[in-house]
Structure 1
């Protein structure tokens, strides 16, 4: 493992928006932007960053609404807004070219960046980062699809989702489901997630993002068109036992990507908790060796 130590920064990128992010590796190296998902933060990359930092310049922000990033009271919590804020971060840091590691919520944020800056994206690592309707596992998405229909008409149902969002057992389940040996999962990760998602105001933020997720699905055809047109390399590194984004979503990338490698791991949604070394090796192989980095 690299002895390079991550640095921690907070920088204002918009009025009242201060993005907290982790940075490691030499600024002259190719950049990888690591984009986390729900219900976590850039903390999910704590073990991956040291493995990549000898080869790459790493930027891992906390998305607005998560971790230690600060937002004003009037911030609009939508995936468009999250993308806009991360775009401003990249411009503030003067990062012109970058690969993206996308996971869960980080996937629609990353693909929006790709649509906005198509010539700036050098590669994609998608670790259970979905871009296809067939990847939406109804075991998780069934209640949310009902929520999208009930947002205006059934306030009682909407309120019933709040305990689901903030229940520690539901957070832990996302880390443990599909994992053969749950003692291999560091409890510090989900303990931090639980503490942060139970903060004041979080229920409203997460309900808004859950509702807005349906707009990501509407953009899936545009994401897929980017994959077909860009010809950039894509690594699909997928927890095969994920009950949120299924293997069907991983396999669907074969329809649109020519320069593709698909690797499955015997684990669940948070594959980095159990297979970080193997995933890091695949990233280095694809981006560092095959791309001449």
Structure 2
């Protein structure tokens, strides 16, 4: 009887888990393998431009353009979620992150110059067609790139990045004063924007659960802001931001005429680029997908779990197959 029961148990086990249904250990390991991120630099017009790169070299390119006061560091958690299929490139602008930061008296810091340098970088590394994730400063840099090469833009992911007058509200009033008079007094009045309390504010204001925000963010960013001479670099950029505003009609014309597939993900509690700057995109891109998230300026820091699936689905549907 015991032999009969043992035979029945073995036979039943064989029907429940046939050999062909067993998982391949090699496939399981590959699926869960850590993503390798490369930390590279290239010299463009005599400047070292640092960039993070991951993913297959022949994959569709996703260009990640950071905001102030951070660097490609802001994308450190997003990159691995895309790199299995996409070639992800995240550069640092001069004066930020690991790129060169020449003195402001020796280099003309500005958004047009950034676009030119990134254009040179992308050409050098063979990235001549790309979807762009633009955030904060990354928006005018990316849109200037789009004006230079409209045929290269395969899609847009817009996160708290402005292209409309409606998006420049109360936070910008002291900066607009500096734009208007260019005075040393108005310039110095902006000094608080490069201090630690403001950096912490940018990461935590509008966030419901601050325990989800790593303090490493402001420690990292502030250390770079506090480098000798960097304050003047940032103040020069605050002043140069005025040159983006007259280009808004051209950015908007690009949206209307080229109709790039667009995903808008916005931290609705952001005081720097508030939600009023998100909705006008729909005037020019009525087919855009818009998601308002209950967070602040650096939405990736506490909403990556919501944002990554939206971004991945958008890219798979709208970019990978184009």
Same fold, judged at TM 0.5 (above): yes
Spell out, residue by residue over 1:123-171, the C-alpha distance to the aligned partner (whole angstroms, 9 max, x if none): 0000101111101131x2011111112313xx23322322x13310011
In 1: Cα distance, 2:174 partner to 2:33 partner: 43
Asked whether the 8 Å contact 1:241–1:267 carries over to 2, the reply is yes
After TM superposition, the score normalised by the length of structure 1 is 0.95
Spell out, residue by residue over 1:231-252, the C-alpha distance to the aligned partner (whole angstroms, 9 max, x if none): 1101000001010111111111
What's the counterpart of residue 60 of structure 1? 90
What's the counterpart of residue 42 of structure 2? 11
TM superposition shift of 1:283:
1.4
TM superposition shift of 1:69:
0.3
Out of 268, 283, 289, the position equivalent to 1:255 is: 283
Q: Which runs of 5+ in 2 are unaligned?
A: 1-31
Out of 158, 176, 181, the position equivalent to 1:126 is: 158
Out of 148, 158, 166, the position equivalent to 2:179 is: 148
Query: Are residue 220 (structure 1) and residue 251 (structure 2) matched?
Result: no
In 2: Cα distance, 1:66 partner to 1:291 partner: 29
In 1: Cα distance, 2:60 partner to 2:186 partner: 46
- Which runs of structure 2 are paired with 1:39-54 in the superposition (5 Å)? 39-54=69-84
TM superposition shift of 1:288:
1.1
Query: Are residue 184 (structure 1) and residue 236 (structure 2) matched?
Result: no
In 2: Cα distance, 1:70 partner to 1:104 partner: 21
Larger Rg, first or second structure (1 or 2): 2
Out of 298, 301, 315, the position equivalent to 1:270 is: 298
Three-state SS of the structure 2 residue aligned to 1:115 is helix
TM superposition shift of 1:71:
4.4
Q: Which runs of 5+ in 1 are unaligned?
A: none
Spell out, residue by residue over 1:108-128, the C-alpha distance to the aligned partner (whole angstroms, 9 max, x if none): 000000000000000000010
Asked whether the 8 Å contact 2:131–2:155 carries over to 1, the reply is yes
What's the counterpart of residue 116 of structure 1? 148
Asked whether the 8 Å contact 1:165–1:203 carries over to 2, the reply is no
Three-state SS of the structure 1 residue aligned to 2:190 is helix
Three-state SS of the structure 2 residue aligned to 1:85 is helix
Asked whether the 8 Å contact 2:267–2:296 carries over to 1, the reply is yes
Query: Are residue 104 (structure 1) and residue 132 (structure 2) matched?
Result: no
In 2: Cα distance, 1:112 partner to 1:26 partner: 27
- How many residues get paired? 288
TM superposition shift of 1:72:
4.2
In 2: Cα distance, 1:230 partner to 1:2 partner: 38
Change (3 A) 1:206 1:2: farther
In 1: Cα distance, 2:108 partner to 2:285 partner: 33
What's the counterpart of residue 118 of structure 2? 86
